């Protein structure tokens, strides 16, 4: 029997429950999104996420496995992987007969050509068990025929001078007998034997991250096309051992170059036939190939597909920390474990792939990652949010060291080239400036160096701002927008950083007016005016405008928050859109992007007392 005191306490509790007001729409939404984000956290303090399955990745993986089987270095398990991959492709073919990079992407010639090649190489492994694959291949050929009879010319026109992706696609197609070897431009693999510091002077037609493909595909093309002239043959023969040694040295312990299925598959499918029959079973080429195949096999999903990369764990974790901080919800996680996990991901030695100095972070905790500006900036800001200072000075110095002459920041290395991922970009520049400014305020970077770098960065951003007030990002786009660019996302990223560093900056007013001017009638944002709203773009634009806390932007913020609340309330808020751009402009979506960015937008709105009805 309960005591009188217990009964009194129970009655008081019931009265309190009856009289306490129900949480507001905003508070209720913050709770819903926080719960989902925290629930997706791994026990050891980080977020791994899940990238969308990719037709392009699946096609290249199937091709690599088929080539391995053909040359006698495959395993029995490859048969089921090939069959399951082909079945997944057949089930996810678009209505027009082609494929896009993801299941939510419109068809494109490059991915469709790779799928046709995969089916062609897999024919002997499919037998009569998958008749749907034959139908899929026939429909795909009809789609590809619309691009003209000359596939090499069509791909060259699509990619221009950048051979980073066009040549691997053509090599894959040549292995399947779809295009002749003589139609494929050479890759100067012998240049990979030169010291890394020379690359920026060589004007290579491939970007820095594609060094494994340059070596592997270049060697195969050299074998199939026959080098002209005795001197050229001698130079290439002498370079062969050196570049193979370099390829083995830069292959990460996971086996996956950049943790990317397409790049790893291209290396495997070309290095195997280049050295087939050589009898050197323990050669660097064979070891590299086997490690690639191990990575491909481990990365296969239960439905038969492959994603574009293993994960974006560092990027997701640092963004999740910043979102929780913005929403006042850091207490919901073990910040000590997360702080330690992020700090331990910092590179403490020069990277063997890019020769990048210590101090930076890559996008993943796996060995195949490469240090880059965006992840280093995000890691620094996240660590500062959870009270970590020790790792910040080296990160700040790394950012200072790679600032380009034009005042902007590139992705990987300073001054490596003039192809897209080696150039300065507004989104990367603003992020780096934000991180350096925060490090300077925290006393973790030298004020004079930081101030000068930020000043130069501001000049770069002023020059990169378009006439309408927007900025175009490098690593994000939108498949529905003109030119497939994403000025809403780029402007949001730059605006958010500038609002923290220089709230009186004249560029803020113009960029804020741009965002407000392209907001859709439903309160959300797409990539540009008139483009269908997505949760990701709406969340980023809303958070950026809320960060500015300007009266002129308040109505747009309120409408953006209402859009997000309606999506949360009808259960569609966590549907991801393919707005991410991976290497070689491959599209992807990530299931945690809408979760993380929505939480930050809601938190920023609450901080600025945005009215929600």
Strands 586-588 and 306-307: unpaired
Q: Average of pLDDT values for 367-376? A: 95
Sign of CA dihedral 276, 281, 286, 291: positive
Greater pLDDT, 195 or 296: 296
What are the angstrom distances between the C-alpha of 408 and each of 59, 357, 382, 423? 36, 19, 22, 8
Q: Output the pLDDT for position 195.
A: 64
Which residues lie below 8 Å from residue 563, measured CB to CB, with a gap of 6+? 522, 523, 524, 533, 538
Sign of CA dihedral 564, 567, 568, 572: negative
Q: Average of pLDDT values for 465-487? A: 95
| CA distance linking residue 576 with residue 574, whole number of Å | 6
pLDDT tens digit string along 442-453?
Answer: 887 777 789 999
The residue behind tokens 């429909």 is 139
pTM of the model: 0.91
Q: Average of pLDDT values for 215-234? A: 77
Judged by average pLDDT, the poorest of 124-133, 135-144, 397-406 is: 124-133
Mean pLDDT of the chain: 88
pLDDT tens digit string along 180-218?
Answer: 998 898 887 877 766 665 555 555 544 556 789 889 998
Q: What helix, strand, coil percent values describe the chain, rounded to 5?
A: 60, 5, 35
Q: Above 60 in pLDDT, residue 280?
A: no
By percentage, how much of the chain surpasses pLDDT 90? Answer: 67
pLDDT tens digit string along 163-182?
Answer: 778 899 999 999 999 999 98
pLDDT tens digit string along 383-410?
Answer: 999 999 999 999 999 999 999 999 999 9
| CA distance linking residue 127 with residue 104, whole number of Å | 29
Q: Above 70 in pLDDT, residue 369?
A: yes
Element containing residue 17 per DSSP (H, E): helix 4-19
| CA distance linking residue 136 with residue 331, whole number of Å | 51
Contact 486, 527 (CB under 8 A): yes
| CA distance linking residue 44 with residue 41, whole number of Å | 8
Work out the burial of residue 50: count CB atoms within 10 Å of its CB; fewer than 13 is exposed, 13-18 middle, 19 or more buried. Answer: middle
Greater pLDDT, 429 or 210: 429
Using left for φ > 0, alpha for ψ between -120 and 50, and beta otherwise, residue 110 falls in alpha
Closest CA to 100 of 588, 534, 532, 593: 588
Q: Output the pLDDT for position 50.
A: 97
pLDDT tens digit string along 50-91?
Answer: 999 999 999 999 999 999 999 988 888 999 999 999 999 999
Q: Work out the number of other CB atoms within 10 angstroms of the CB of residue 240.
A: 19
Beta bridge partner(s), residue 53: 307
Sign of CA dihedral 278, 283, 289, 294: positive
By percentage, how much of the chain surpasses pLDDT 70? Answer: 87
* Structural domains for the chain: 25-51+311-607 (1.50.10.20), 53-307 (1.50.10.20)
| Total residue length of the chain | 613
Work out the burial of residue 610: count CB atoms within 10 Å of its CB; fewer than 13 is exposed, 13-18 middle, 19 or more buried. Answer: buried
Q: Above 90 in pLDDT, residue 298?
A: yes
Q: Output the pLDDT for position 236.
A: 67
| CA distance linking residue 94 with residue 97, whole number of Å | 5
Query: What would the two tokens of residue 301 be?
Result: 């999903």
Closest CA to 536 of 528, 546, 525: 525
Work out the burial of residue 206: count CB atoms within 10 Å of its CB; fewer than 13 is exposed, 13-18 middle, 19 or more buried. Answer: buried
Closest CA to 259 of 152, 362, 140: 362
Terminal-residue alpha carbon distance, the chain: 46
What string of DSSP letters covers 423-454?
S-BHHHHHHHHHHHHHHHHTT-S-HHHHHHHH
């Amino acid at each position: 029997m309960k005591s009188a005191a217990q009964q009194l306490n129970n009655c008081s509790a019931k009265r309190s429950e009856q009289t306490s007001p129900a949480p507001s729409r905003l508070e209720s939404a913050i709770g819903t999104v926080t719960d989902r984000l925290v629930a997706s956290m791994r026990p050891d303090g980080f977020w791994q996420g899940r990238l969308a399955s990719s037709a392009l990745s699946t096609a290249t993986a199937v091709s690599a496995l088929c080539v391995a089987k053909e040359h006698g270095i495959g395993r029995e398990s490859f048969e089921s992987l090939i069959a399951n991959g082909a079945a997944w492709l057949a089930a996810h073919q678009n209505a027009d007969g082609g494929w896009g990079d993801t299941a939510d992407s419109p068809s494109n010639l490059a991915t469709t050509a790779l799928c046709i090649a995969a089916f062609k190489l897999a024919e002997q492994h499919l037998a009569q068990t998958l008749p749907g694959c034959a139908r899929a291949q026939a429909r795909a050929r009809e789609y590809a025929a619309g691009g003209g009879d000359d596939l090499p010319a069509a791909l060259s026109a699509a990619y221009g001078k950048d051979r980073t992706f066009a040549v691997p696609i053509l090599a894959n197609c040549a292995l399947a007998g779809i295009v002749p070897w003589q139609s494929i431009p050479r890759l100067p693999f012998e240049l990979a034997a030169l010291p890394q510091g020379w690359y920026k002077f060589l004007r290579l037609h491939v970007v820095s991250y594609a060094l494994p493909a340059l070596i592997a595909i270049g060697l195969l093309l050299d074998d199939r096309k026959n080098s002209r002239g005795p001197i050229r043959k001698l130079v290439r023969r002498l370079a062969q051992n050196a570049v193979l040694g370099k390829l083995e040295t830069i292959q990460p312990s996971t086996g996956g170059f950049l943790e990317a299925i397409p790049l790893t598959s291209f290396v495997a499918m070309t290095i195997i036939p280049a050295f087939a029959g050589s009898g050197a079973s323990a050669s660097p080429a064979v070891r590299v190939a086997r490690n690639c195949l191990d990575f491909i096999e481990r990365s296969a999903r239960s439905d038969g597909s492959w994603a574009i990369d293993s994960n974006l764990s560092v990027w997701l974790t640092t963004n999740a920390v910043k979102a929780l901080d913005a929403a006042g919800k850091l207490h919901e996680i073990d910040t000590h474990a997360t702080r330690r996990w992020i700090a331990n991901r910092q590179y403490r030695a020069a990277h063997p792939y890019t020769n990048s100095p210590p101090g930076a972070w890559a996008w993943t905790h796996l060995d195949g990652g490469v240090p880059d500006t965006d992840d280093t900036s995000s890691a620094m800001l996240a660590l500062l949010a959870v009270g970590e200072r020790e790792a910040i000075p080296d990160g700040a110095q790394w950012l200072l060291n790679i600032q380009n002459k034009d005042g902007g920041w590139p992705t990987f290395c300073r001054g490596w080239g003039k192809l897209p991922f080696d150039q300065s970009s507004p989104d990367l520049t603003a992020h780096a400036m934000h991180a350096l400014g925060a490090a300077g305020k925290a006393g973790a970077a030298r004020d004079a160096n930081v101030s000068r770098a930020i000043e130069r960065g501001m000049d770069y951003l002023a020059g990169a701002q378009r006439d309408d007030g927007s900025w175009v990002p490098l690593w994000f786009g939108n498949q529905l927008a003109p030119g497939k660019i994403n000025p809403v996302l780029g402007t949001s990223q730059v605006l958010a950083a500038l609002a923290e560093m220089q709230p009186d900056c004249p560029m803020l007013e113009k960029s804020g007016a741009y965002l407000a001017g392209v907001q859709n009638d439903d309160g959300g944002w797409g990539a540009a005016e008139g483009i269908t709203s997505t949760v990701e773009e709406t969340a980023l634009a809303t958070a950026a405008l809320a960060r500015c806390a300007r009266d002129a932007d308040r109505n747009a913020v309120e409408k953006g928050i209402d859009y997000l609340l309606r999506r949360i309330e009808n259960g569609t808020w966590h549907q991801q859109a393919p707005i991410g751009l991976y290497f070689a402009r491959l599209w992807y979506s990530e299931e945690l992007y809408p979760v993380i960015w929505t939480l930050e937008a809601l938190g920023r709105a609450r901080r600025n007392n945005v009215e929600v009805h």
